[in-house]
Structure 1
Amino acid sequence: MKRRDFFTTSAAAGLALGMTGLAHGAEGPGGKDLYVLCKFSFASPEKLEAYTAFVKEAVPAFNRAGIKPVGVFRLFKEDNPKLEIEADPNELWLLLPNASLASISRLMEDYAWESPAAQAILMAPKDNPAYERFESSLLLAFDGMPKLEVPSSKDTRVVQLRIYESHTIERHLKKVAMFNEGGEIGIFRKTGMNPVFFGQALVGTQLPNLTYMLQFDDTAAMDAAWDAFRSHPDWKVLSQNPEYKDTVSRITNLIMRPLPASQI
């Protein structure tokens, strides 16, 4: 192997391993999905734009390796007034379902890493890095929704990413049970809260937590669905069940938009 090819392959493997959380199999227990959720942070809009170009070429490579559909998202200030941010953050989010070590092996051999956009990312010098850092979480799908779904393909669609932290593992598991056995996922479906996935965080930050993503045709549909959910009689009964008291200590709520490369 040529020296350049060796370093390119090694860099691609390292990136892919980090982005896929070193998942050992394409499925979790009972055939449930495993998800890797990544957030990349960049020093400037130009760095974000360059990495987005790289991801656009990388998505087909992920697909060829069996990782699909791939989600590619950005958060914008206009959609998230409650965050009180001053500008659109230089961040990119990726959702990679069912990555495995076998997938990584196929990724390492993919021709996509030889493209100019990929080379600029994988071989970036120390004084001009492609990104500042990235975080990744490994999530195991819920019993109540073992497989990922893609509810909408409209150009106006938005996704809502919500992270529920708990103060103990026991309360975290009880909140997971509230979605599963308690029927909260079913109430979501009744009220137009279209789920993409529900995942229990196995590895990552802000533990213990569960993470889920919803998808809507547009922000108006999102607001209408939440109104329907909050007023639904089944939710009013479930939310008053003392068994599920104090299950959530902190909620992160992010509204994002899929980029052209996104398959979700």
Structure 2
Amino acid sequence: MSYPIDRRAVLAGATLGGMTLASAGAQAQARSAAATPEIYELRTYHLVNGSMRARLDAYLRDAFMPAARRAGCGPIGVFAVSIGPASPSVLVLIPHPTLADFAALPARLAADQQHGQAGAPFLDAAPSAPGYASLDVKLMRAFPHMPRIEVPAGGAARLFELRTYFSPSDKTGATKIEMFDTGGETEIFRRTGLTPVFFAQDLTGERLPSLTYMLTFPDLATRERNWRTFGSDPAWKRLIATPGLTDPEITTGIDNSILGPTPYSQI
């Protein structure tokens, strides 16, 4: 059974720089309430060791990303799997303003002469030397109160963590989204050093319902330390112990990968 989340009870006494987490969350929600959530396209290019990676990098860097930005997409993230089941592969995160913009992108790319010229070695690759082994595409919709990607500050090496939570029903999936979006979990993330890039509901996938989010850290040691801090946080312990919000009630599993950004990634 799912119960409404009492944010005031869960977050009582937790502070962020002198401001209650509930107040900080309310302010963030007010700022983003008027924004339309982005649609995220997550492409996973599965590769074979060898020359595929170089051809794909050249296409993404010199042809696809400039053309996609001209078409109104972005910022675009490009990541290689460092730790996870999909290696070797390259993940491309493409924010679209709307679902219609996602649907229109192939035609816009086809009409973009610069894209066709710069991308010719990849787009016209012979079957004997393909640009990739296979391609998976997942569509997601940003959470209402985090409707845009938050690009981390540049100038330093970073890693990214991509996590997908699976739920046993639409109702429990909506409850898990509520925990993040308005129930206080995102505020606890931020306070304990789990810096989000995006949160999104999965619109397509093999194990729906599910949600996906991305975090960023300066290094693996910081990631391990901050996850431990999160796990021992009193507000998190109260939230996860709330009847109707425990993991066995609303999640059936988690997929997790550690990603490294390419030198040309915009995220």
Fold match (TM-score > 0.5): yes
CA distance in 1, matches of 2:170, 2:196: 24
Give the 3-state SS of the residue equivalent to 2:57 in structure 1: helix
Give the 3-state SS of the residue equivalent to 2:244 in structure 1: helix
Normalised to the residue count of structure 1, the TM-score between the two structures is 0.80
1:94-134 per-residue CA deviation (whole Å, 9 max, x = no partner) reads 0000161454443223212212xx21221122333221111
Over 3 Å off, 4+ runs: 101-106
Q: Give identity over the alignment, percent.
A: 35
Matches within 5 A, 1:165-184: 165-184=166-185
CA distance in 2, matches of 1:208, 1:39: 20
Tell me what 1:95 maps to: 93
Q: By how many angstroms is 1:136 displaced?
A: 0.9
CA distance in 2, matches of 1:207, 1:48: 30
Give aligned pairs, total.
Answer: 226
Tell me what 2:241 maps to: 240
Coordinate RMSD, CA, aligned: 1.9
CA distance in 1, matches of 2:130, 2:209: 32
Matches within 5 A, 1:184-263: 184-245=185-246, 246-263=249-266
Tell me what 1:23 maps to: none
Give the 3-state SS of the residue equivalent to 2:203 in structure 1: strand
1:185-229 per-residue CA deviation (whole Å, 9 max, x = no partner) reads 111111111111001011233321100001112222222221221
CA distance in 1, matches of 2:257, 2:155: 19
Q: Residue 72 of structure 1 is aligned with which of 74, 78, 90?
A: 78
* Uncovered stretches (5+) of structure 1, i.e. residues with no partner: 1-28
Q: By how many angstroms is 1:177 displaced?
A: 1.1
* Uncovered stretches (5+) of structure 2, i.e. residues with no partner: 1-33
Normalised to the residue count of structure 2, the TM-score between the two structures is 0.79
Tell me what 1:106 maps to: 108
CA distance in 1, matches of 2:241, 2:70: 47
Residues 35 and 138 in structure 1, CA contact (< 8 A), matched pair in contact too:
yes
Q: By how many angstroms is 1:64 displaced?
A: 1.4
Residues 244 and 250 in structure 2, CA contact (< 8 A), matched pair in contact too:
no
